[in-house]
Amino acid sequence: MTRAGAHVAATLLAAIGARDYARVAACFAPEARFLALTPKPQLRDHTGPDEAAGRYRQWLDSFDPFEMTAADWEWIGDRVRIRYRFRGRSPERGWQENEHTAYGRIDETGRIALLTLSCAGFRPARAPE
């Protein structure tokens, strides 16, 4: 389980950083549940790989440019904690940054069965120098 969880955590981080939504979807089990608490406050509840990847597409696609500025993961008991920060320029709001912290349960196939995520919200940021 540890090796599979490490692989899927690293793969998910790389896929998010590349905005590769097919690879994001491949990290999730067919019946996976993806819960995301956003600052609105709103709890977004998604089922399956396509809905999970679709949520990431909605969050990230409008940024040009886009970059992941920090990313890490570690085991917390039988869960994997995945954390990343990203920034980009939104056509509507200018430069923004955000951070997500998520906790995942990995199934026996090495894919994410459950991911619960907390979102810091899109925060105004300075343009890179």
Distances from the Cα of 90 to the Cαs of 6, 41, 98, 104, 111, in angstroms? 32, 21, 12, 29, 31
pLDDT in tens, 7-32: 999 999 999 999 999 999 999 999 99
Residue 53 has pLDDT above 50, yes or no: yes
pLDDT in tens, 90-122: 999 999 999 999 999 999 999 999 999 999 999
Give the per-residue pLDDT at 104: 97
Nearest to 12 by CA among 60, 56, 61: 56
Q: Where are the domains of the chain?
A: 2-124
Confidence of residue 1 (pLDDT cuts 50, 70, 90): very low
Beta strands in 39-93 (DSSP E): 42-47, 66-76, 79-90
Which residues 6+ apart lie within 8 Å of 58 measured at CB?
Answer: none
Dihedral sign, Cα of residue 66, residue 69, residue 83, residue 12: positive
2-124 CATH = 3.10.450.50
Mean pLDDT of all residues belonging to the chain? 94
